[in-house]
Amino acid sequence: MEGDLAHIGAGLAAIGSGAAAIGVGNVAGNYLAGALRNPSAAASQTATLFIGIAFAEALGIFAFLVSLLLMFAV
């Protein structure tokens, strides 16, 4: 695997997954904090939790996509 600027770019784009991890962690952590304060309301909000995680994760997936494009399409 010879060094190439596209590979460096792909590596830099992978930082975006870390940013998405912060987002997903925020969603899940805040859900847990809320759920421990009011456990009776927690079950009704799991769907919202997953939707929130999915949206936060979507942006990490775009970073992953950029990374893939740089690796295989450039």
**Pure H helices in the chain:** 5-13, 15-37, 39-42, 46-72
- Dist. CA 59–CA 49, nearest whole Å: 16
Contact region for another protein (CB under 8 A) — 4-12, 28-36, 62-70?
A: 62-70
Backbone angles phi, psi at 2, to 5 degrees: -75, 145
Binding mask 12-51 for another protein (x = CB under 8 A): -----------------------------------x--xx
Contact region for another protein (CB under 8 A) — 4-12, 21-29, 31-39, 52-60?
A: 52-60
